[in-house]
Structures are given as structure tokens and as C-alpha cells.
Amino acid sequence: MAKLRVALIGQSPSPLIGAVAESHRVVGLAGPEVRWRLGMARAAREIGASYHPIDDDYALGDWLRSVRADILVICGLPRLIAPAAFEAPKFGTINIHPSYLPEYRGPNPIYWLLHDDAPEGGVTIHFVDSREDHGGIIRQERFAIQRGMTVGEIWRHATAVVGRRLLLESLDAIAGGGPVATAQPDGRWRRGRRVTQQEHHDLVDWSWPIERVWHFLHGTDEQLSPVSSPSPWRRLVDWKVVCFERCRCTRPPGSLAWDPRGFYLSHAEGKIRLRVRPPPAKRLVSAVMARASKISQ
């Protein structure tokens, strides 16, 4: 079996780079042209591959032809790319999507898996076409979502564990030259769309069992705050969902409260415990800017 010339595109370096390099030749890495994400450029230098900043899809297509890429692999790029780019490699472009397509197409599938209390997640390796997460499926597999898993933990399992194996199988199948993909079934499916902070708060159904509410809020608190905070200064507080306890609680469901054990969110079945952690620097800057803008008006 001939080795493929593989280019990979993503927002940050991935263990998949080394895994692919063991079986095929990685000829290029591409990533956003953002200072704090230049890890992709460093990773390219370390393996002797070309690096290209993602700024223009036509330029990306020219770069893929210049490195003579047989296949482009996308992992974690939250936008569509134009045909000028995904059609440039000899065998086209494939994507690692962290759901069992056609379920949860879109940029935010794991959030909705947690929201829907899905017992299983999934990974799909599929060809890229002009529609969102729509191309032919090469490999896919489901895996169990354990109670308390976070978005980050599910993503890492989907890509670095299950996705790694499926990607290598897919590349080997493409290199073998046989038919490798099947069309996705038709139908209407839940889309893994992005949500705002306010939508996130509104999407919690406080009539759910307390364990389900905890599972959802705990799993997503890396992305979105479990506490509705209209004031910019209150958003300085970064809330971590810790655990839940069943007990008598008379406060309105979803309200933020405090007792001698600390902060909690009220639920008809008990309390969802919170811990305050230092806010990310980006959130601190945003709050300060919002406050400064309000003062200047």
C-alpha cells in the first residue's frame, strides 16, 4: 500500500498528527493566523512539514497543490471551506466529526448530545462537500457517554481515541484505491448549532431530574456559565459545577443561593453545588471593556 501525502488543518496541534505520520507522510499543516494558536506552525517545523495560515480558501487550495497533497484532513475547524480548497487534493478532503452522522451536524454537536442526555456519542470520518457535514461516510462508530463527562473529555475521546483509529483505517482504505464511502441517509436531524449564554440558560429544563440537570451543566461549564449573569462585573465570576445532593430545597428552581457549604443552584430535588474559580483572562478583559464602554456613554 502506497503512503499518502497528507495535509491536516485544525485550530491547534493534535495527537493525530503523530499518528498519521507513523503510517503516511504529513506534508503540511494549516491553522488560524492567530498569535496564540501558532502551535500549528511549531508542530509543522518539528516534523519538517510546510505550514499555511488559514486566511483565504483560494490561497489554501494553491498551497495544497504546491505541497502535492493527496488528501486533506480536517479536525476541529468550526467553519466550512470552499470547493477551491477541499477539491484541491488528489483524493479530496475528509473531516473528523464528533457525532454519529447524520445526527448532530454542525459546529457544536457535543453540547447538544449533553443537552439531549444522549447515552452515546459518536465519531464519523466523512468526505467533505459543499454542504455542512454532508459528504459520504467512510467510517463511523458510537461510544458510551458516562455520567459527568465534559465537552472536552468527550471531544478528546472522540478524536484522540476512537477518531484516531477510524482516521487511520480511512486513510488506508483511500490509499488502497477501492470504494470507501457510503451516502448519508436522508431525513431531518437535530443540528449541533452554536448557542449564546442566554440561550444556554433558557435551554435548561428545571423539571428534568436533578442528575440530568447536573450532567448537562457540569458537562458544558467549560464553554458556558451555568449561572445567568446579566451584569458584566458578575461575569467575572467563573462558576464550576461540582456535584449535586438530594435534599429538601424550597427556593425557586434554577436560582443561585448560598448556605454554609457554599454556592448552589436550587432544584426541586436538591442542590447543584458550585465552586468559584479564577476567570479566564479573555473574560476579564471583556468585562472591563464592557464596563468602560458603559461609563463612557
Supply the pLDDT for residue 202: 95
| 215 and 151 Cβ atoms separated by less than 8 Å | no
Domain range list for the chain: 5-176, 197-296
pLDDT tens for the chain, 297 residues long, are 789 999 999 888 788 999 999 999 999 999 886 644 568 888 899 999 999 998 899 999 999 999 999 999 999 888 899 999 999 999 999 999 999 999 999 999 999 999 999 999 999 999 999 999 999 999 999 999 999 999 999 999 999 999 999 999 999 999 998 768 999 999 999 999 999 998 999 999 999 999 999 999 999 999 999 987 655 545 567 899 999 999 999 999 999 999 999 999 999 999 999 998 766 665 555 555 555 555 555
Give the position of cell 477539491. Answer: 87
Supply the pLDDT for residue 237: 74
* Amino acid letter, 120: E
Query: What b/e readout covers 174-195, taking b as 16+ CB neighbours within 10 angstroms?
Result: bbeeeebbeebeeeebbbbeeb
The CA distance from 135 to 150, in Å, is: 28
In CATH terms, the superfamily for domain 5-176 is Formyl transferase, N-terminal domain (3.40.50.170)
Supply the pLDDT for residue 284: 54
Supply the pLDDT for residue 219: 98
Supply the pLDDT for residue 178: 74
